[in-house]
Structure 1
Amino acid sequence: MIAKNLIHLQISNFNLPVIHIINATSHNDIENTIKKNMQETRDFLKYTPVVINVANLTHKNNWEKLYQSILETKLYVIGACSCNDNKLKKIIIKSGLPILTENILSQHHSLYNSQKKLIKQIKNTNNNTQLIHTPIRSGQQIYARNRDLIIINDVSAGAEIIADGNIHIYGIMRGRILAGASGNTTCQIFCTQFFPELISIDGNYWIGDQIPKKFMGKSVRVSLQNNTLIIHSL
């Protein structure tokens, strides 16, 4: 007998950066340019899923070589979009990638712009920062003593993130997040997908039910003003 309820299928919105290929005459130049941009952001985008905009390409371009060059940068290419050449479309599909439509991608542009703002903020942080690339599971507690904390992944419900400095979370935040734990009222919290169980700065906290619903799932910045938590959209 086949067991029931083994999986749950749900339609969800994915937030995907899009790389626009302007000129594909030099695959090495494209690869080097992407790598340079990643280095400038301290490899912040390494292993990030991306979509390739191929509006400026035709079947005469060497898609396989271009695709391989982008993979060499440690980005995960999960699809292509804006393909105007039917022959190129067949080549891309044959390479194992789907063709994504613009109406699917348009909903992601606002979050991508927020992510770029967050990258700029992280580039301006000092070297006294703890950086974590791995997911934070339920039951885990992370504490960054006397420094800022940057997490480039998801934080599960039941996890607790604590820092004496600022906290940046590039991913889905579902746990408890406490910044300024040693009493710094100027510390802030930055999240790209905001679903916390609790947020706190310098001991001033809100539980999830107290957070305005309009901010849930959004990119936000949380600060403290006159002992009151303030949430700003990014």
Structure 2
Amino acid sequence: MSQTPDLKGSSFTLSVLHLSDNEVEKSIQFLKKKVEQAPTFFTSAPVVINIANVAGEVDFSELKKGIKEAGLIPVGITGSKDEHTQSLASQAGFAIMSSSKPPTKASNLVPTKVVRTPIRSGQQVYAKNADLVVLNHVSPGAEVIADGSIHIHGTLRGRAIAGASGSTDAKIICNDLQAELVSIAGNYWLSDQIDSEVWQKKVMLSMSEDMLHYDILTI
């Protein structure tokens, strides 16, 4: 039986680089540093450029070249209502994207995935369409991923990526935060971005106003 291609809408988690000015080289060096810090997470990852806070023209051709050199895949720009700027970005090969899409909520989740053993360096555990509960530690170099929330009853020293399918309602809860990276719906903190106030504390991470937010848990 013959089949024809089909085009359907879908949603994917994309990293967004927010530019503060039109100094392209500064932004590229920032990206290269981030890729070096977490190559497993960032290498070949698609990235969208938010230029809402940029005054003046951006050299989009140079920006696209630099993003590729950093090891990322440039997808498009967002945050511009200026047709001239959008035209320049389009000529350089960027898609023009809208950020007006409402937050994606977790739905159709399947039963929680529970892991009782330690997650060791080099291991990856993924809870597809589910929450993930780890009743042990997550070692450096290990990665836990869930389309829903992640609960870690031990120490988180590796990487935790919740809301992997775009759910902004996802949470990360861990008994001892010492993570290499935490991410919810594509918004992330590397270890050097995590506030020292919450380091080695029992913490809940969540999303608020499109930014990561933390609460120290006292129980």
Query: TM-score if structure 2 supplies the norm length?
Result: 0.51
Name stretches of at least 5 consecutive residues in structure 2 with no aligned partner. 107-116, 176-203, 207-219
Q: Which residue does 2:83 correspond to in 1?
A: 86
Tell me the secondary structure at the aligned position of residue 47 of structure 2.
Answer: strand
* Aligned amino acid, residue 50 of structure 2: N
Distance 1:77 1:172 in 2: 24
Q: Which residue does 1:23 correspond to in 2?
A: 21
* Aligned amino acid, residue 192 of structure 1: A
> What per-residue deviation string (whole Å, max 9, x for no partner) do you get for residues 56-88 of structure 1?
154x43221122112211122211011233222
Distance 1:3 1:63 in 2: 39
Tell me the secondary structure at the aligned position of residue 67 of structure 2.
Answer: helix
Q: Which residue does 1:220 correspond to in 2?
A: 171
> What per-residue deviation string (whole Å, max 9, x for no partner) do you get for residues 179-219 of structure 1?
8xxxxx63679551379xxxxxxxxxxxxxxxxxxxx8853
- Work out the percentage of aligned pairs sharing the same amino acid: 16
Deviation at 1:222, TM superposition (A): 6.1
CA change 1:62–1:221 in 2 (3 A) is: closer
Bigger Rg, structure 1 or 2: 1
Aligned residues of 2:103 and 2:168 also touching (Cα < 8 A):
no
Q: Which residue does 1:33 correspond to in 2?
A: 30
Q: Which residue does 2:12 correspond to in 1?
A: 14
Structure showing greater relative contact order (alpha-carbon pairs closer than 8 Å, 6 or more residues apart): 2
What aligned pairs does 1:68-79 form with structure 2 within 5 A after superposition? 68-79=65-76
Q: How large is the Cα RMSD of the aligned pairs?
A: 4.7
Deviation at 1:148, TM superposition (A): 5.1
CA change 1:170–1:96 in 2 (3 A) is: farther
* Aligned amino acid, residue 169 of structure 1: V
Tell me the secondary structure at the aligned position of residue 65 of structure 1.
Answer: helix
Aligned residues of 1:148 and 1:164 also touching (Cα < 8 A):
no
Q: Which residue does 2:162 correspond to in 1?
A: 192
Deviation at 1:221, TM superposition (A): 3.6
Deviation at 1:89, TM superposition (A): 0.9
Deviation at 1:23, TM superposition (A): 2.0
Equivalent residue pairs, number: 161
- 2:4 maps to 1:53: no
Distance 2:63 2:118 in 1: 44
Higher helix share: 1
Deviation at 1:172, TM superposition (A): 4.3
Query: TM-score if structure 1 supplies the norm length?
Result: 0.49
Name stretches of at least 5 consecutive residues in structure 1 with no aligned partner. 112-143, 180-184, 196-215, 225-231
